[in-house]
Amino acid sequence: MNRVLVYIEHDDGVIAETSMQALTFGGGLGEVEVVSVGETALGGWQIQHPLLTDYAPEAIAESLAQLVGAEMPGVVLAGGTERGNEVMAHVAALLDLPLAANVTEVRPSGDAWDLTRIRWGGSLLEEATLTAIVKLATVAPHVIEAANFPFRAATVFTPELADELARTMVFERVTLSEGITLTTAPVVVSGGRGVGSPEGFAVLEELAGMLGGAVGCSRVVTNNGWRPHSDQVGQTGTRVAPNLYIACGISGAIQHWVGMMASKNVLAINNDAEAPMVTKADYAVIGDLHPILDAIVAEVRRRRAG
Ligand SMILES: Cc1cc2nc3c(=O)[nH]c(=O)nc-3n(C[C@H](O)[C@H](O)[C@H](O)COP(=O)(O)OP(=O)(O)OC[C@H]3O[C@@H](n4cnc5c(N)ncnc54)[C@H](O)[C@@H]3O)c2cc1C
């Protein structure tokens, strides 16, 4: 049976949902083995080295390449995140192997894979064939529901790493927002140009707070300096998959849509009934977003009080 190594991203042991999705995806391709830097509750291969104190793509990739060289699995997967794609691109270069990034489906065909992958920020799906002795791929976020994965006995792998591999690494973390984050929030209240100003976001903040959610925005909003880039949803921002995405004054350009199309429900509030966001949404309210949001906030408050 194919051995499938899956590189797991985690933050102090908190495993990324996208990595759990990649693990689940890998389960359909063979016998899955977890690889992580340091310990996680999943066990498996644990890469340990004094250089690896935080995210360091070149050093992690070199470690993975050494592990692949030693173990020769048939497949190596990671989540199709910025970090997953970055690490796997380095691994591919080090091993001189092809990498299929952001894969949504694999159809094994003899020794090769016929696969589908997301290209151009989600604006097209590409059919491709991957032929390689070790197949390297990243799994596009949210193409599969993550399943639970049992603990497997841990095995420490200590790579040989030259000091210069730590030239790219995270050395400081700055918290921009406390509590619920955009990627994990069950509700995202997101604003676009239609919100009109930084102050216009106050009511979105209020609604997000009431619903236990987070505030997102479009690129126009970050370009205007109304919100930080960490709030931006889309191709060049964060990808989200909440239960409810409330798009306020957002037209629904493809570069925004790819960042939130995995949402379970979309409510569009827009004064243009023909806006792409409105035509694609599950629910829509047509009109000026400001009185509409004020009315929603007042109604939520009234029901809670009652
Ligand atoms: C390479 C590239 C990458 C990009 N990456 C991203 C990305 O990651 N994320 C992203 O969002 N964009 C991205 N963009 C930009 C994207 O193409 C759009 O320009 C952007 O999403 C539009 O933002 P918007 O919907 O806020 O503004 P607009 O397109 O101007 O839409 C504003 C909407 O608000 C409505 N509106 C106006 N006033 C009101 C009101 N008072 N009440 C209700 N509705 C109102 C309008 O009818 C309109 O539908 C990218 C573009 C490129 C080229």
Domains and CATH numbers, the chain: 3-167 (3.40.50.620), 187-305 (3.40.50.1220)
132-150 confidence digits (pLDDT tens)? 999 999 999 888 999 998 8
Which protein residue has the closest C-alpha to ligand 1 atom 26? 192
CA 41, CA 146: separation in Å to the nearest integer?
16
Please tell me the distance from the alpha carbon of residue 185 to that of residue 299, in angstroms, as a whole number.
Answer: 22
Give the residue-averaged pLDDT of 266-273: 98
Residue owning the nearest CA to atom 7 of ligand 1: 234
Kindly tell me if the per-residue pLDDT of 167 is higher than 60: yes
> What is the Cα 55 distance to its own chain's centre?
16
CA of 68 to the centre of ligand 1 (A): 43
Express each pLDDT in 195-251 by its tens digit. Answer: 999 999 999 999 999 999 999 999 999 999 999 999 999 988 898 999 999 999 999
Distance 231 CA to ligand 1 centre (A): 14
Cβ atoms within 10 Å of 64's Cβ, excluding its own: 27
Closest residue (by CA) to atom 38 of ligand 1? Answer: 194
Q: What is the CB < 6 Å shell around ligand 1?
A: 192-194, 218-221, 232-237, 249-251, 253, 255-256, 259, 270-272, 275, 288-289
